[in-house]
Every structure is written in C-alpha cells, then in structure tokens.
Amino acid sequence: MLAAGSDKPAIQREGMVKVMKKKIISLILLCTLVFSTTLWGCGSSKDTAADSADTSKEASDETETTDGKGGKTKITVLRPGDQEKVEAFMEPAIEQFEKDNPDIDVEIMYESWAGWIQKYPTSFEAGTQPDVIFWWDNKMNDSSAHEHLVKLDDYLSEDFFSQIPDSVWNLVNTSGLDGTYYVPSSVDTAVLYYNKEVFEAAGLDPEAPPATWDELLAAAKAIKEKAGVPGIGVPAITGSEVLEEFVGMFINQATDAPILDDKSMPLFDTDEGLEAVKFVEQLVPYVQDSPTEYGRGELRPLLRDGGVGMLIDGPWGVAAYTAAFGENLDESKIGIAKIPLAPNGKEIAWAGTNGWIATRDETAEASAKLIEYLMSPEVIIEHHLAYGSAPLYESEFDNPSFQYDFWKVFYDEAQDYKLYGMIGKDSATPAAYYTALEEVWQQLILGQLSAEDALKAAAEAAEGVTSRNQ
C-alpha cells in the first residue's frame, strides 16, 4: 500500500512469472483446441496454426491479446480530453512505441472528460474498459474500477518508480489497494497568483508576496481598503473548488492531515481544524461579492484585469494569463508564489494528480511497457507542454517553454512540500462528500454560519455520507 509517508513499493518479480504461466497455459489450451478440431498437432504447420487461430473465435475471445496472425498483443489506450490535443501528443508517441515494440499494437481511443466520466462505471462493469487509462487518483477506489486494476510494480522496475518524487508518491494514496496501481504523470500544486499592479495600488511590495496566513490576511485587507477591489477571490460555485482550493487547503495546512481518515470519517473536527475555519472566516470580508457565483474560470479574468488582488489556483490557470501577457509571466503583472504557510510553519500545500492505470491481467505486460514509455522524460514533456502541466522531472526545465521562474514555484512545491489532495482517497464516492459539504462552506463564505457552527455542520455532513455508504 502507498500511503502518506510510506516508502515507494518494493518490486515483485513473481508477477512476471504469473504472466508467463498464463501465456503457456493459453498456448496449451489453444493447441488442444486446434488438435481436436483439425486432427493436426500445434507444431505441424505455422500456417495451419494461424488459420486455426483465425477461425477459433472462442479462443481469441478468451485471450483478447493476439490478432491470430502475427502473435501481436493488442491494447487500447485512453487519454480523455480534447481530441485535437490528444491526437497531437498521443499519435506520434504511439507510432514510435509501436516501432520500438513491433509485437504490440496500440489503438488510441478518444473521449472527452465529461463523456468518459459518464461511461466509465458501466465500462468497467461490462469489461469493455480500455487496457490503459489516464485517470484521476481519487477514482482508484471507485467500486466499478477497483477489481480491474493491475498491480504495476510486478512489471516495472524500482528505477522507474524512483524517478517520481517522494512527495508525489506520498500524495498518491491507494489506501486498501496492495501495491502500485497508479503511476502519477502530472502533479498540480496550488499556488498563490496575485496582480502586481493591485499590490502597488494597495501599498504592497509586488516582489514580496505574502508567505504566511497573517501576511495573506493583511494583504487582503490592504487591497480591499486601499485599492478598492476584493483582496482575494474564492471559487465557491461548487463544493469541489471551495473545499479543495480554499477551505480544505487551509484545513490540510492546519491539521497536517487529509480531510477524511481511512474509514471516510472527518479528521477536521479538531482545535486545529477550527483554527483553519476561523482563518477563512477572517478572510470573508475581503472576498468578491456574490462568491457563490464564481468558480476558477470566472475569477481568472478578474485577477488578470485587476478586479481582484489574489487567487489560489493550480498550473491549469497559467494558460489564462499567458494568453493575455505572453509566455513569460515573470515579466508580466501577474505574480506566482508558493502557498502561504499556516502558523505551524509546516510546508504543506494542496495538490492533485493525474496518471496511468492498467486494467487487464491478460495485457498487463504490454500495458506496463506502454506506461513506462509514456512516462519517459522525452515523451512526458510533450504531454505537459500540450496540457499546460507543470514539470515533473528536473530535465524538463531544459525546454525553453519551462525556463521561467514561475514554473519553478509549482515544481518546488511538488518536490519539497507535503501534499494533500481531493476529499480523501479512501472514498469510492468523493462527489457525494463535495455535495454534502458544499452548502456548509458556502454558508461560511457568505457569512451565514460562524466558524464553530460551520465546522460542526461539516463534520456531521461528512459522517452522514459515510453512514449512508456503509
């Protein structure tokens, strides 16, 4: 199991033996079938064996790994998202992979995120899911996918796993899953974006962004009172945004713990949790009007145009500002800084990951080879450039697109900070918790609940979801 603070998984070779045994057994069964239907032995003729394999639909359906002609393993891969972007990154990568691995055929599947989110439960239940999927870490415990995940450390080396930072492995918590079922390809850390012109108007040093909660509160107050605009934007339109990147992040920092424990019970109903919620309560007078009408997408133009002073956001926000100011944000009016620290002084930030999973034992070896290739530095950088993800490997900074100081902020947080994310990796239904907590945190942001009442209500809401799921 990988959990926060755990070591990277030990490499187990017995999985390779199991795969070879499966292949030998499958060959024996195929030979028996051919002999019984044609009265010829397996070794009688290569052509005869091929023809028999072609005509034996039952055998091919059972193995689902070969085409019956060249002995090639066939696998499908899905990277959800805009098809144009997926094609631009995936097609050259797969073409080269097939050249390097002539015994493997790869079919690229195309699906939007929204489409795949709708389809994946029934896909896993029906056994029609792709062999390799780019997926969210908090979906690993989804009941429809859980039993289909391949233990990848049976097929990939320790050197492979060691190239991924320890902090990222700490973030990836597969909970009750025994082993490495998920390989993180990107890590998106929350940072502080701020408008330098607004800072100057408020009498703040644009080269000295707030580094602590106290400084963040003081900056928000100064911006509101002196610059005449909201000090900090809060994405309160949905439960996931307000929880993950605002209230929840401050709770993570204060408690040094995830939102939920390994039994999906709340961990934030503590003195430290109350400290975090009280801090949010102190920020409320300095957020934008009608905060529940704003998500990240609505707040970015406000920050860009000086309509709000600060915003907590991830690397996915960079594109909104580079489109306006050019690639080098270091020389623009948008500043990017590490997340301000709680009074405990611990370097803790919120983060999320996307990564690769394999879903079939029959194609596990080929799937693992593909994942290893897609994670190689020369390929992963094309993925990150296409989607605006922050660098995962230090070598990526050799690329001109990443040779800016602001990219180092994301990278350094991912390397050095303790990272918490999502609602809790142990929950099979994170959306239910987002929904349950959404109204509570919205009422806090609107000033309709005190910190004490909000903390109590949030704990009760989370406990209610857990009890209904048991």
Distance, CA of 180 to CA of 357 (rounded, Å):
9
264 and 332 inside one domain:
yes
Which is nearest to 353 in space by CA: 382, 398, 389, 306? 389
> What's the confidence (pLDDT) of residue 66?
53
DSSP H helical ranges for 175-312: 196-201, 213-222, 239-242, 248-255, 271-283, 296-304
Q: pTM of the full predicted structure?
A: 0.82
pLDDT of the residue at 108: 97
Q: Are residues 298 and 273 in the same domain?
A: yes
Q: 440-463: per-residue pLDDT in tens? A: 999 999 999 999 999 999 999 999
- Min mean pLDDT across 22-36, 191-205, 388-402, 407-421 is at 22-36
Task: Categorize the per-residue pLDDT at 11 as very low, low, confident or very high, splitting at 50, 70 and 90.
Answer: very low
Within a domain: 411 = no
When pLDDT is averaged across residues 320-346 and rounded to a whole number, the result is: 96
42 within some domain: yes
Tokens of 342: 């709680």
Pick the most confident of 21-35, 110-124, 135-149, 212-226: 212-226
- Does residue 6 lie in a domain region? no
Give 68's DSSP letter: S
Examine the pLDDT at 78 and tell me if it is beyond 60: yes
- So what's the pLDDT on residue 428? 66
Q: Is 338:409 a contact under the CB 8 Å cutoff?
A: yes
Q: What is the pLDDT of residue 52?
A: 34
Shared domain check, 312 and 370: no
Q: What is the pLDDT of residues 351-394, one digit of tens each?
A: 988 999 999 999 999 999 999 999 999 999 999 999 889 999 99
Nearest to 427 by CA among 181, 150, 137: 137
Average pLDDT estimate for 239-245: 75
Tens digit of pLDDT for each residue in 247-272? 999 999 999 998 888 888 999 999 99
pLDDT at 61: 41
Compute the mean pLDDT over every residue in the chain, rounded to the nearest whole number.
Answer: 84
Q: Pick the residue with more confidence: 29 or 69? A: 69
User: Is residue 347 located within the same domain as residue 383?
Assistant: no
Which whole-number Å values give the CA distances from 303 to 51, 137, 232, 310, in the listed order?
A: 66, 29, 9, 7
My answer on whether 125 and 160 are in the same domain is yes
Encode pLDDT of 284-329 as tens digits: 999 999 998 998 899 999 999 999 999 999 998 999 999 999 999 9
**Whether 260 and 177 share a structural domain:** no
**Same domain, residue pair 95 and 156:** yes
User: Does residue 131 sit in the same domain as residue 63?
Assistant: yes
What CATH number is given to the structural domain containing 62? 3.40.190.10
What is the number of domains present in the chain?
A: 2
Q: What is the pLDDT of residue 145?
A: 81
Q: Which two tokens stand for residue 92?
A: 């050259």
* Same-domain pairing of 172 and 233: no
- Residue-level pLDDT at 434: 84
Q: Which residue has the higher pLDDT, 30 or 93?
A: 93
Confidence tier at 425 by pLDDT (50, 70, 90): low
Whether 143 and 243 map to the same domain: the answer is: no
- In the numeric block, the tokens 């330098």 are attached to 196
432 inside domain: yes
DSSP conformation letters of 130-192: -SEEEEEGGGTT-TTTGGG---GGGTS-HHHHHTS-HHHHHH---TTS-S---EEEEEEE-EE
**Sign of the four-CA dihedral 354, 342, 430, 243:** negative
Residue 59: per-residue pLDDT: 32
Q: Provide mean pLDDT across the span 53-74.
A: 50
pLDDT tier for residue 171 given thresholds of 50, 70 and 90: confident
Residue 181 lies in a domain: yes
Are 264 and 367 members of one domain? no
Asked whether residue 5 is assigned to any structural domain, the reply reads no
Taking residues 274-287, report their average pLDDT: 97
Q: Comparing C-alpha atoms, which of 78, 50, 196, 192 is closest to residue 135?
A: 78
Say what the pLDDT of residue 252 is.
94
Give the pLDDT confidence score for residue 8 in this predicted structure.
41
| Residue 416 confidence class, pLDDT cut points 50, 70, 90 | very high
Q: Are residues 341 and 312 in the same domain?
A: yes
Does the residue 2 lie in any domain?
A: no
Res. 189 pLDDT band, cuts 50 70 90: very high
pLDDT band at 167 (very low <50, low <70, confident <90, very high): confident
pLDDT of residue 15 exceeding 90 = no
Q: Give the type of residue at 51.
A: D
Judge whether 409 lies within some domain: no
Beta strands 132-136 and 73-78 are parallel
With a pLDDT cut of 70, the percent of the chain lying above it is 82
- What pLDDT does residue 17 have? 37
Residue 30 has pLDDT above 80, yes or no: no
- Structural domain boundaries, residue 439: 191-351+418-469
Strands 348-358, 334-337: pairing kind: unpaired
Q: How many helices (H) and strands (E) does the chain have?
A: 19, 10
pLDDT score for 144: 76
